[in-house]
């Protein structure tokens, strides 16, 4: 991932983008299969205005750098967004992007549309539930049996929050003029622990969310609005980030603990586990089956994400 801190410099100078690729990408090829590079993380609607302004230029210069080094046809360039880019997202049919975000988002969407790059967005039903546990059915957030929600405008029924969030994104893209762009969930997950006031942050809920997400993705089904486009999503995170600042939940999103032992079982075993049973998978098995596909260039294992959808 291109760090947020250097986006301004990269936006101003293609040479900086070329140098970054030479130092952070080329030395690891072809031994490492690098599928994509993220330019920053959750920039629009979140970071200070100067960094938001720099994002389109940084992305364009990284494209130029990859072209110059003859890597553009091998490596995808994108940038993941947070829910902060939306002016509103409920019901899904009413979703739009914030006007001040669109100023910087539209040129990015135009470039990605030309290169057939999906719209990457980070969605955390856990955070939505944590923010309003009195009015949100936790079963709706966890893919468990519930009455769901009904979108009056489209006549579509949603039995889980993630599908609704994805369709809200498709609606916003359509309104912005990019209705053909695929949506990919670049981060999603559930905290297995947290502070006392962080409702829902339990091992059982984390296991339930990621296990049910895994089952949902393996079906290769679309959403109510886009039934023919299978949902693709990455789980955040592979390991707990025990040194991370912020609420306690921030340190407990991993499928594995910081020492490599399993945090909870969804059918994936860690490097310190015993011999895997026929019903479980080791990290080596996942790699062999191409389920682990890096969306960004990850230099620290604790930042890794695991693609649970078959590629």
pLDDT tens string, the chain, 311 residues long: the values are 999 999 999 999 999 999 999 999 999 999 999 999 999 999 998 889 999 999 999 999 999 999 999 999 999 999 999 999 999 999 999 999 999 999 999 999 999 999 999 999 999 999 999 999 999 999 999 999 999 999 999 999 999 999 999 999 999 999 999 999 999 999 999 999 999 999 999 999 999 999 999 999 999 999 999 999 999 999 999 999 999 999 999 999 999 998 989 999 887 755 544 344 433 444 444 444 333 333 333 333 333 344 544 33
Q: What is the pLDDT of residue 270?
A: 53
The percent of the chain in helix, strand and coil, each rounded to the nearest 5, is: 40, 15, 45
20 HSE (CA, 13 A, CB side):
26
| Active site residues per annotation | 42, 187
Those residues whose C-beta lies under 8 Å from the C-beta of residue 47, and which sit 6 or more positions away, are 4, 40
- Kindly state whether residue 106 falls inside one of the protein's structural domains: no
- Kindly state whether residue 11 falls inside one of the protein's structural domains: no
Domain that holds residue 139: 86-94+122-280+301-307
- Kindly state whether residue 264 falls inside one of the protein's structural domains: yes
120-155 burial: b if 16+ Cβ within 10 Å, else e:
bbbbbbbbbbbeeeeebebebbbbeebeebebeeee
What single DSSP character describes residue 282? E
For the beta carbon of residue 1, count every other beta carbon within 10 angstroms. 19
What single DSSP character describes residue 276? P
100 phi/psi in degrees, rounded to 5: -70, -20
Here the CATH number for the domain that contains residue 268 is 3.20.20.80
Q: What is the pLDDT of residue 71?
A: 95
- Kindly state whether residue 16 falls inside one of the protein's structural domains: no
- Kindly state whether residue 112 falls inside one of the protein's structural domains: no
Those residues whose C-beta lies under 8 Å from the C-beta of residue 213, and which sit 6 or more positions away, are 143, 162, 188, 233, 235, 308
- Kindly state whether residue 242 falls inside one of the protein's structural domains: yes
- Kindly state whether residue 207 falls inside one of the protein's structural domains: yes
8 A C-beta contact, residue 87 and residue 97: yes
- Kindly state whether residue 165 falls inside one of the protein's structural domains: yes
CA 52/CA 4 separation, integer angstroms: 10
CB burial of residue 262 (10 Å; 0-12, 13-18, 19+): middle
How many domains would you assign to the chain? 1
pTM as predicted: 0.87
């Amino acid at each position: 991932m291109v760090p947020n801190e250097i986006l301004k410099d990269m936006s101003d100078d293609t040479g900086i983008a070329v140098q970054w690729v030479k130092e952070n990408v080329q030395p690891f090829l072809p031994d490492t299969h690098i599928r994509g590079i993220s330019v920053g993380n959750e920039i629009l609607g979140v970071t200070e205005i100067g960094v938001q302004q720099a994002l389109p230029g940084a992305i364009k210069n990284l494209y130029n750098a990859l072209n110059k080094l003859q890597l553009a046809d091998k490596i995808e360039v994108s940038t993941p967004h947070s829910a902060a880019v939306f002016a509103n997202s409920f019901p899904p049919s009413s979703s739009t992007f914030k006007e001040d975000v669109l100023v910087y988002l539209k040129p990015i969407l135009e470039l990605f549309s030309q290169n057939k790059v999906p719209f990457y967005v980070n969605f955390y039903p856990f955070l939505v539930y944590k923010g309003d546990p009195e009015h949100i059915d936790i079963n709706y957030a966890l893919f468990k049996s519930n009455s769901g929600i009904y979108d009056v405008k489209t006549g579509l029924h949603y039995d889980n929050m993630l599908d609704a969030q994805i369709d809200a994104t498709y609606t916003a893209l359509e309104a912005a003029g990019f209705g053909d762009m695929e949506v990919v969930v670049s981060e999603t997950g559930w905290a297995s622990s947290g502070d006392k006031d962080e409702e829902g942050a339990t091992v059982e809920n984390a296991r339930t969310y990621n296990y049910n997400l895994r089952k949902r993705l393996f079906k290769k089904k679309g959403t109510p609005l886009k039934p023919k486009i299978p949902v693709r999503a990455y789980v955040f995170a592979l390991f707990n980030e025990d040194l991370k600042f912020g609420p306690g939940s921030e340190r407990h999103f991993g499928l594995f603990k910081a020492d490599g032992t399993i945090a909870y079982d969804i059918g994936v075993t860690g490097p310190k586990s015993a011999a895997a049973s026929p019903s479980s998978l080791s990290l080596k098995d996942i790699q062999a089956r191409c389920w682990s596909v890096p969306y960004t260039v990850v230099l620290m294992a604790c930042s890794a994400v695991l693609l649970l959808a078959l590629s």
